[in-house]
Amino acid sequence: MQLKYLHISNCAELEQIIVVEEEEYQAFLNNNLQPETFRNLSEVVVESCSKLKCLFPTTIARGLQQLEELYVEDNFQLEELFGHKDVAGIMDDEEIVLPQLNYLTLKALPSLTNFFCPGGCHFIFPSLRKLVVEDCGATVSIFSFTRDECVHADEKVLKLL
């Protein structure tokens, strides 16, 4: 719970950051992976992990209230940043706010189909200063901003950038 910086690079065989067997997944989420698990995490850098398919369950995203920088590059099998197995627990149009996120960089992610979970989740980044998206496959998330200058990532509504 005190972890502030998570840097993972050049882990060619890494398939999951949080490893849980399928049948134990829901029990694990209920008992151990509460949103506050990584409440102090301020920086996540994941580079050159060619077998990684998802960074974290969406459950973790709700607790990343101190996250300032998310940098993801050269992860060729990465399909989504948050989500994957816990999509059933996400309600349509649920909003997840990452209030401190200043920098979001996504590069060379050819398998990326969803920036975030595909269950209709809506991410809001009120403090985002820099967004870089390069060579990211067939992503379906839409980034937009509102009059109050918040950046949004939404998969259901097409908005003008």
Residue 145 has pLDDT above 80, yes or no: no
- Number of structural domains (the chain) is 1
- Give the best-scoring range by mean pLDDT among 4-18, 51-65, 140-154: 4-18
Residue 161: inside a domain, yes or no?
no
Note the pLDDT of residue 139. Answer: 62
Domain that holds residue 100: 5-154
| Digit-coded pLDDT (tens) for 19-40 | 655 555 555 555 555 667 788 9
Which has more pLDDT, 109 or 137? 109
Q: Is the dihedral of CA 107, 141, 39, 68 positive or negative?
A: positive
**Residue 59 counted as domain residue:** yes
CA-based nearest residue to 98, from 70, 64, 122: 64
| Contact (CB, 8 A) for 124 and 152 | yes
Q: What is the pLDDT of residue 35?
A: 63
Q: Enter the pTM of the model.
A: 0.80
Q: Are 46 and 55 in contact (CB under 8 A)?
A: yes
Residue 70 CA to residue 93 CA, distance in Å, equals 23
